[in-house]
Structure formats: structure tokens, C-alpha cells
């Protein structure tokens, strides 16, 4: 795969040129971007792969839901439906996609909708449920909408400044596009990342004077959950565990479980994987299935011994409060 990506370097140059031209068309107003009276907070990244967008949306929901009537609008990646879909008690995971369904299931008072056409999705939400604030999930590259506040995520291990364009690298948007963000959050950092190292990364990001930079690391619960039960880690050490992941980067989860002295086999699938009947049949033979929260909503009801481990962003210093205050001040 590495060799193929290198061979395709000329294609990445063409891709980079197309991305640059598209952004210039928006920058000069030749392509129109629409603004809305309802505040919009955008969460996104410049690259493909997991940067922690869903945990960031959850962080914002937890911090803002007591003060605002919130809605989340997502594309609904790999869902088996089209157009605008707003979640109800009868909505299936296949109609929303795994990440929006996870949010719908987790936050009972949260309005969750999906639409690949973000302008239409916003119009539908504002004309029907009238939220006070809309969180746009994975929308940084969608220039047809002008957000009130933009949060750009990039990972510690592979920051956008060190990346290259598809298909040789993972960038789907220009590095210069980072200037549009109101703040940059460097995610999945080591939890002992020193202040000096953070300063060095901040310099490399070449932020503009009004741009804020935050650093976060992933934290996990000390228990695993199903809809009806939970187990503490000390009880897991007695079980034969199979870790099943269908996420872009399972490395932080694998590393964390090893630090907890959990013995397991790991079955890794591609991001948003739809499990086949034969795969489910094989998984059903395992004694204890542990998975991510995103995978859980796709596997729920298909396996008997299925548990998930919740994950969330933990900010360094007072980053969590500072970020929420920035959002509140803007909207």
C-alpha cells in the first residue's frame, strides 16, 4: 500500500491543484457560501481518518445542552438512506449511519439529522424544530455553508502540517485552509505531553494571531458497558476477550487496554465496516466481544456478549472551559 501511494504521487499533485482552485473560487466569492441567522459550530479536519470528531461533538453537547436547544447535522456516512433524515424513536442505525445514531442514542434531548446537502439540512432543521444552535459534524471542507465558529481537529501523531494530499497522503483539503479555523485542537496526544512540547507544536502549526490552539488526549472509562450491564476492568482479566474495531485508528484503544493488563485478541476491520452474516457467525463463537461505542450501535442485537468502552477528550490545563467559553462568546 505504501508503494502504491508513492507511485500515485503525480495524482496527488493534480488533486492538490483542484483543491486549491476550489478554495480560491470560494475565497474570491465566485462560488457562494451561505450564512444563517441560527449559529453554526463546525467540527472537522483536513484529512481522512480518525481525529476524534464524534467525541468532540459529544464534548460540545455535554457542555452546551443545558443552555441551548441543540441539533447535530451530519452527512451520515455509509447510511442506507438518502436525502434529509431526522432521527426519531423508530429510526434505525442504517438510516442515520453509525456515528449520528450513537449521538441520537446517547443524548435523549438532542436533535440529530443527516443530509449530504448541508444547506438543505440546515433549512429543514431551522424551519421545523428551530434549534438555537446547530453542530455541523465533519463539515470543515463544506464551503457552501459559512459557520459561526470552526473547530479544526488534527492528531498528534499525524498533524496536517506533516501530511500530504490524497492519494499519497491523507489530506483532503489544503493546509492553508487551516487559517479558516477559529481554533485548532491537537487530539490523541500522550497524556504526559509537556508544556514545552505543546509550544513547539503550536509554532509548527503557524497559527494566525487570533487563532486558538488546544491539546487533548483520549480517556476511557474504567468499566465496559452494554445496554443492561457493565463490567469493571478487574473482572475482564478473567475472560477470553475479543476486541472488534471498525474505526480508522484503533491504536490508542489497543494501547490503553494493554496498559490495563487486559489480554485479548484483536480483530480489526475498516472504518464503518458493515459486518456480513458469515463474520457475525464467527464472532458469535467468541466468549466476550469488546468494541467501540461506534461499532456497538452497528452490532447491537446481533451478538449476545457484546460490550463497549466509552471514550472522551480530556484537555490539558483549562482547555475544556476555555474552548466552551470561546464558542459561547461567538454565538
Tell me, what's the pLDDT at 213?
Answer: 97
Identify the CATH number of the domain defined by range 222-309.
3.40.50
Query: Per-residue pLDDT averaged across 287-310, rounded?
Result: 94
Query: Is 33 among the annotated ligand-binding positions?
Result: no
Tell me, what's the pLDDT at 312?
Answer: 95
Answer for the pair 22, 31: CB distance below 8 angstroms, yes or no.
Answer: yes
Query: Is 54 among the annotated ligand-binding positions?
Result: yes
CA–CA dist 73, 113 (Å, integer) = 5
Query: Is 53 among the annotated ligand-binding positions?
Result: yes
**Can you tell me whether residue 195 is helix, strand or coil?**
helix
Q: Does the pLDDT value for residue 1 go beyond 80? A: no
2-68+132-217+315-330 to CATH, choices 3.10.350, 2.60.34, 3.30.450, 3.40.50: 3.40.50
Tell me, what's the pLDDT at 3?
Answer: 84
In tens, the pLDDT along 177-229 reads 999 999 999 999 999 999 999 999 999 999 988 999 999 999 999 899 998 89
Nearest of 63, 237, 78, 25 to residue 151 by alpha carbon: 63
Query: Is 52 among the annotated ligand-binding positions?
Result: yes
**What are the Cα distances from residue 62, in Å, to 65, 100, 263, 313?**
6, 15, 33, 12
Establish whether domains 2-68+132-217+315-330 and 222-309 are of one fold. Answer: yes
pLDDT confidence tier of residue 49, bands split at 50, 70 and 90: confident
In tens, the pLDDT along 107-137 reads 999 999 999 999 999 999 999 999 999 999 9
Tell me, what's the pLDDT at 169?
Answer: 93
Query: Is 50 among the annotated ligand-binding positions?
Result: yes
Q: Does the pLDDT value for residue 233 go beyond 90? A: no
* Domain residue spans of the chain: 2-68+132-217+315-330, 222-309
Query: In sequence order, what are the beta bridge partners of 236?
Result: none
The dihedral formed by the CA atoms of 35, 41, 44 and 46, expressed in degrees to the nearest 10: 50
pLDDT-above-70 percentage for the chain: 100
Tell me, what's the pLDDT at 24?
Answer: 94
Query: Is 83 among the annotated ligand-binding positions?
Result: no
Query: Is 76 among the annotated ligand-binding positions?
Result: no
Query: Is 35 among the annotated ligand-binding positions?
Result: no
Helix, strand, coil share of the chain (percent; to 5): 35, 25, 40
Amino acid at each position: 500500500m505504501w508503494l502504491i501511494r508513492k507511485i500515485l504521487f503525480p495524482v496527488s499533485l493534480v488533486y492538490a491543484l483542484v483543491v486549491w482552485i476550489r478554495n480560491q473560487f470560494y475565497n474570491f466569492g465566485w462560488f457562494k457560501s451561505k450564512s444563517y441567522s441560527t449559529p453554526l459550530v463546525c467540527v472537522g479536519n483536513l484529512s481522512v481518518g480518525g481525529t476524534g470528531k464524534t467525541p468532540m461533538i459529544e464534548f460540545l453537547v455535554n457542555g452546551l445542552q443545558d443552555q441551548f436547544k441543540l441539533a447535530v447535522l451530519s452527512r451520515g456516512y455509509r447510511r442506507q438512506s438518502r436525502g434529509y433524515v431526522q432521527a426519531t424513536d423508530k429510526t434505525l442505525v442504517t438510516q442515520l449511519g453509525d456515528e449520528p445514531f450513537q449521538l441520537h442514542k446517547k443524548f435523549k434531548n438532542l436533535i440529530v439529522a443527516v443530509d449530504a446537502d448541508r444547506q438543505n439540512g440546515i433549512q429543514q432543521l431551522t424551519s421545523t424544530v428551530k434549534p438555537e444552535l446547530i453542530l455541523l459534524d465533519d463539515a470543515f471542507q463544506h464551503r457552501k455553508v459559512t459557520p459561526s465558529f470552526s473547530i479544526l481537529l488534527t492528531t498528534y501523531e499525524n498533524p496536517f502540517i506533516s501530511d500530504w494530499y490524497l492519494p499519497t497522503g491523507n489530506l483532503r483539503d489544503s493546509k492553508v485552509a487551516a487559517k479558516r479555523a477559529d481554533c485548532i485542537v491537537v487530539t490523541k496526544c500522550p497524556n504526559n505531553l509537556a508544556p514545552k512540547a505543546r509550544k513547539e507544536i503550536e509554532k509548527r502549526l503557524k497559527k494566525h494571531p487570533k487563532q486558538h490552539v488546544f491539546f487533548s488526549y483520549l480517556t476511557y472509562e474504567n468499566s465496559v458497558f452494554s445496554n443492561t450491564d457493565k463490567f469493571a476492568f478487574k473482572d475482564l482479566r478473567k475472560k477470553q476477550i475479543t476486541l472488534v474495531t471498525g474505526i480508522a485508528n484503533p491504536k490508542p484503544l489497543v494501547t490503553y487496554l494493554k496498559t490495563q493488563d487486559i489480554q485479548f485478541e484483536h480483530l480489526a476491520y475498516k472504518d464503518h465496516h458493515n459486518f456480513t452474516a458469515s463474520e457475525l457467525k464467527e464472532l458469535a463463537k467468541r466468549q466476550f466481544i469488546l468494541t467501540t461505542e461506534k461499532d456497538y450501535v452497528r452490532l447491537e442485537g446481533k451478538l449476545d456478549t457484546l460490550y463497549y468502552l466509552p471514550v472522551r477528550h480530556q484537555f490539558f490545563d483549562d482547555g475544556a472551559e476555555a474552548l466552551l467559553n470561546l464558542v459561547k462568546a461567538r454565538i
